[in-house]
Structures are given as C-alpha cells and as structure tokens.
Amino acid sequence: MSARADGGRPELVVVCGLPGVGKTTVAETIRERVDGDPDLLRTDIVRGDVVDDPDYTEAELRRVYDELFSRAATRLARGESVVVDGTFKRAMHRERARDLAADHDARFRLVRVECDEDVVRERIAARTDDASDADFDVYKLYKEEFEPIEDSCTVIDNSGSTAQTRERVIDALY
C-alpha cells in the first residue's frame, strides 16, 4: 500500500461491536471509501498471529490490542489511512485509538456495529470460513463486559442484508 495520493491527513477508523454483529462487513465497506487505499486490520487476524489457542483472556486481549495498535501506528506514521475491526469492548482501547490518531495528526472516526441477537446467533452458527472463532458464548460474555461508549460515534444496524448494511454505511458516513 502506498501513502495517500492526495497528500491529505490520514484517517483511523475504528469499527467496533460485539462478536458476530458484522463488523467486518461494515469495515470493508468503509475501507472501500476511505482515501488512500487503507489497510483493514482485524483483531481476529492479529489474534491468530499472536495467540496459538485463543482463550479470550485479559492477557490475550492486551497482546492482541498492543499488536493491533503497533501495526496501525506504523501505517499512520507513513501517512497511510487505516481501518481497524475489533470489539473494542474496553473504553481504554477506544481512547487509545483516539490518542493514536491524534499523535499522527490523523482524522479519527468511531463506528459501532449493532445487530439483533437472533441474527447474531444465526450468523455465528453459520460461520464456516471466517477468521473469527468467537462463538455465541463469547458474544454473551462480551455483551456483559462491553463498556459504554460515551463519546461520539456512528451506529450502524447490521441486522438486515449485506446490501442494506452497505447502504446504511454510505448514508451515515459518506
């Protein structure tokens, strides 16, 4: 990936939400529209790179997010935009992302993806070829642990079809 062709400020977009809500669908739609052909960094992929057999412990969470932020910082330092896809269930991770963007004079956007629980259950059960190994028990655990978002964010409902979600993203952000 090369630096932004227009020479403008890079952008860091954080796409957050519970497992199975469709963060990656939203993140990919955003990635297609952010200037500079940004990378999409997914915690699911990073987790696979740094943890052999995930248990979703706090220690794992720290390792995954440390690596995610390291990768994002490298790209932002080169003037490249980045879209990150992860639960970001902890407010400190969302704040860390905001600070990272500020440190690199990058525009910051936070997007929360939501979805009806019945749809999440169906989607998780239907997963066959996905980097995420979070099951419905992880969804329920993270639902209890997800810290409220107190700063501004864009909320995308991904309970419908992929086409509907893509349209919602475009309407809300572009």
- The pLDDT score that the predictor gives to residue 53 is 85
The pTM for the full model equals: 0.89
Beta-bridge partner residues of 15: 85, 111
pLDDT of the residue at 22? 92
Architecture of domain 11-173: 3-Layer(aba) Sandwich (3.40)
Stretches in the chain below the pLDDT threshold 50: 1-6
How is residue 70 written in tokens?
Answer: 């390291």
Domain regions of the chain by residue span: 11-173
Question: Cβ neighbours of residue 125 under 8 Å, at least 6 residues apart?
Answer: 136
Q: Phi and psi (nearest 5°) for 13?
A: -110, 125
**Can you tell me whether residue 158 is helix, strand or coil?**
coil
Q: Give start and end residues of each alpha helix (H) in 78-146.
A: 91-103, 117-126, 136-145
The helix or strand, by DSSP H or E, that contains position 27, with its residue range, turns out to be helix 23-33
**pLDDT on residue 102:** 97
Which residues, listed in sequence order, are joined to residue 83 by a DSSP beta bridge? 13, 40
- What integer pLDDT is reported at residue 126 of this predicted model? 82
For 68, residues 6+ apart whose C-beta sits below 8 A from its C-beta are 41, 43, 46, 84, 86
DSSP 8-state class, residue 151: S
pLDDT of residue 6: 46
